Structures are given as structure tokens and as C-alpha cells.
Amino acid sequence: MSIFVPNFKFKKQMEVVAAIIQKGCRYFATQRGHGEWKGWWDFPGGKIEAGETPEIALKREIKEELDVEISINGFLATIDMDYPKFHLKIHYYLCSLHKGEPKLLEAENARWLLLDELGELKWLPADKAIIERLEARRGNAVIL
């Protein structure tokens, strides 16, 4: 299922993936350590490279950013969103840790948060939208 926000005709287009890593009842969030959105929180992930499937890109990005291997347990949603300088298409996957514990190789900070705690952080706009989706499926959540 996609959430569509129009008006991206003339902007730079970016397609990325993000891992919603769950451990028990907690979700893993990272705080950006660089760029225009420094200090904002997001779910880890990154760009899909040429020739990659979203799933392969996600596993590669998480290995590069956190030095862990993940299991992809299911697709959650795709969100299209306009940012001031680009249009973002982001594919969210529910994941769990397969091997290792996260090490912050790119992020400034990280936290494991309960669903009710997610709203306490300053999230990037697309991630804020997916948190609403997570909250809406609260009763149907599977604990990994």
C-alpha cells in the first residue's frame, strides 16, 4: 500500500529503503549526524543502487551503516513525499537482527524505543508518516 503526496514533477527524484528493526517490543531509531537534516531521527536505510532490488539494497545499507545482518520479515508500505529540495519514494520493511548488534558507523545516536515512545523524537517527515502506520496496526503487530 502506498501513501501518495503529489507535486514532485520537477524535483530531483530519490528512491530509498528503510528498515524498521524490531527487537521484542522495541524499534531501532537512528539520529542523523550530518547534512541538512542533522539531529533528526529516522529508520536506518539508504539509496537503492542500479541493479539492486529493494531488499538487497536494504541489507547492504544496514550492513554499511550498522555492521549487522538483518532478516527482512515483511514489507510495510511505500511512501511518496515531497521534501523542499527533492521528491522521495521510500520503501519500508519490517526487520529483525539476524547477526550482530548495531554499531553506529554513520549515525550520531541511536535508541531502542517502545511504540508509545516513538512520538517523543523529532522524526524526518516520511518516517513520521510511517510511525502513524505502525501505531494504526498496533493490535496486529507481531513481536519478533
17-61 pLDDT, tens digit each: 999 999 999 999 999 988 888 999 999 999 999 999 999 999 999
CATH of the domain at 117: 3.90.79.10
Number of domains in the chain: 1
Q: What is the pLDDT of residues 73-104, one digit of tens each?
A: 999 999 999 888 889 999 999 999 999 999 99
Distance (Å) of CA 47 to CA 21, 37, 61, 79, 138: 17, 16, 8, 14, 28
For 32-49, give the secondary structure using H, E and C: CCCCCCCCCEECCEEECC
Quote the pTM value. Answer: 0.86
Measure the CA–CA gap between 61 and 97, rounded to whole angstroms: 14
pLDDT class for 2, splitting at 50, 70, 90? low
Domain residue limits at 123 = 2-132
Would 143 be classed as within a structural domain? no
Residue with cell 529483525: 96
pLDDT value at position 12?
87
Kindly state the cell numbers that stand for 7. 507535486
